[in-house]
Amino acid sequence: MPTLTKAPDIVLGFDVSKDTLTVFEARSSSPCPKPCVIDNTAAAIRRFLKSLGRIDLAVCEPTGGHEHVLLVELMAAGIACHRVDALKVKAFIRSFGTLAKTDALDAEALARYGRDRWDRLSLFL
């Protein structure tokens, strides 16, 4: 099971839907990042990833295959990625007392989950 060997500085959390991706960037040097929404297409994902430069880890949820294009583009770009266990992330979110559920909150939680649990996350191959 491959994992990261050093703590990531830049982690992206992707909340996946059929047509869009809500993305949150957790960065140690950015205290208040904001989520953004991009199309869930190969071209849009490629453009977005190129616009960011370095990315240490990307975390997404399983969504019945809607995450497939994202995972393919992340791997093609050489970005470490993890597809989470939805129950573990749900417990992680609730551990902070968060009950609300929006795409932006989910993307933020996924990014923070990656920053917190990076050393235990198996990378998607």
Residue 21 maps to a domain: yes
CATH of the domain at 40: 3.30.420.40
Q: Of 8-17, 20-29, 97-106, where does mean pLDDT reach its minimum?
A: 97-106
Residue 122 maps to a domain: no
Polymer length in residues for the chain: 125
Report CA 65 to chain centroid distance, whole Å.
Answer: 15
Residue 102, number of CB atoms within 10 A of its CB: 11
Residue 99 maps to a domain: yes
Residue 101 maps to a domain: yes
Number of domains, the chain: 1
Q: What are phi and psi of 53, to 5 degrees?
A: 80, -130
Instruction: Tell me the per-residue pLDDT of 38-57, one tens digit each, with 9 for 90 and over.
Output: 999 999 999 999 998 889 99
Q: What is the pTM of this model?
A: 0.91
Residue 90, number of CB atoms within 10 A of its CB: 15
Structural domain including 63 reads 10-117
Amino acid letter for position 90: K
Residue 2 maps to a domain: no
Instruction: Tell me the per-residue pLDDT of 92-124, one tens digit each, with 9 for 90 and over.
Output: 988 888 766 789 989 999 999 999 999 999 998
